[in-house]
Structure 1
């Protein structure tokens, strides 16, 4: 559970199955967003890094900056590294982030990695592949594949046309949803949804909708 009020948030509390508090931390200003890494380590985004919950206790991972908002994250049971967004402009109406964060939950460390020159992403751009690879849908319309252990860009696959993040967060923008070997990407400009095969990097199919797609999700595996 998060700690805070309607006006601000400062951290989190962990409860056992009976609702009894087992751990608490107030070292996560602006706590927002969560993901789970290998070994069921939970990461919570903060305005100055990430708060991990592992082995029954909270561990703070500092970013090294006074302000570095990490909100949206993506985790994988195949990797001890979490993928997170990374914003450094506290007063920006709309920040087009040019870097992302890799949080190693095994070593309690955080590394920032630059996006390709001139490419940004949005809070609906992050995902993980079947082997734990980090996936980011860039504003250049490509799905960028990153090795989470090294931060190295291993592939960039065209999926949609180039796009710009709208000023209002509720406005549609290309969104990424991953399940197994498939990555589904919305393209509001054309009212389409594309299915990318993550084993080949090729668009395997597209569908045109009657309305502009915004958010996207899917059923659980096996259904």
Structure 2
């Protein structure tokens, strides 16, 4: 079973973040999080203490600088915290893939977005304020992105039941089922990933993807899966 629907409620209720706050900083510098600038387009740094009060980890959230990202060529992409000196790095299977060209429109758009945020302390998309990140809640299952991670409809009665209940707001189980924590279990590595939230790449890169962000605390690994509009 890939997705695990737990009996406990979500650790963090879903909430849109529009500006820097104690638990989230947008457009982080290398002083906030050590990372390879050739491998990543930095989006934010999230405090994992919001999910685990005993943790002081700061999780680096970024768009991997990979040529196939705008074309939807990737499934799940992972990167990890390697060490204090090396910081965050793409996992080996992605590290040598082709990078985006400096002259690409989305790279220019990112620079403009960063400058706009520095001046106004918020971002815009489609003429209105756009969230920097949407933290917490449940991963939005039943879309294209989660089909990349699993193929278990009909093999997982609990997941089938979840879809049946959450598709009907009048179902007596709707409130409890729609507030339970959902994690992802990687059967190959036998690691459980916590859902942190998601962000749209539109206000950053003027593309049309939504990045689902998961985290594996023991291996300090981030997993991204993109839903394309």
TM-score range, shorter chain: under 0.3
**Structure number with higher relative contact order (C-alpha < 8 Å, ≥ 6 residues apart):** 2
Q: Write 1 or 2 for the structure with the bigger share of strand.
A: 1
Q: Write 1 or 2 for the structure with the bigger share of helix.
A: 2
TM-score, normalised to structure 1, is: 0.27
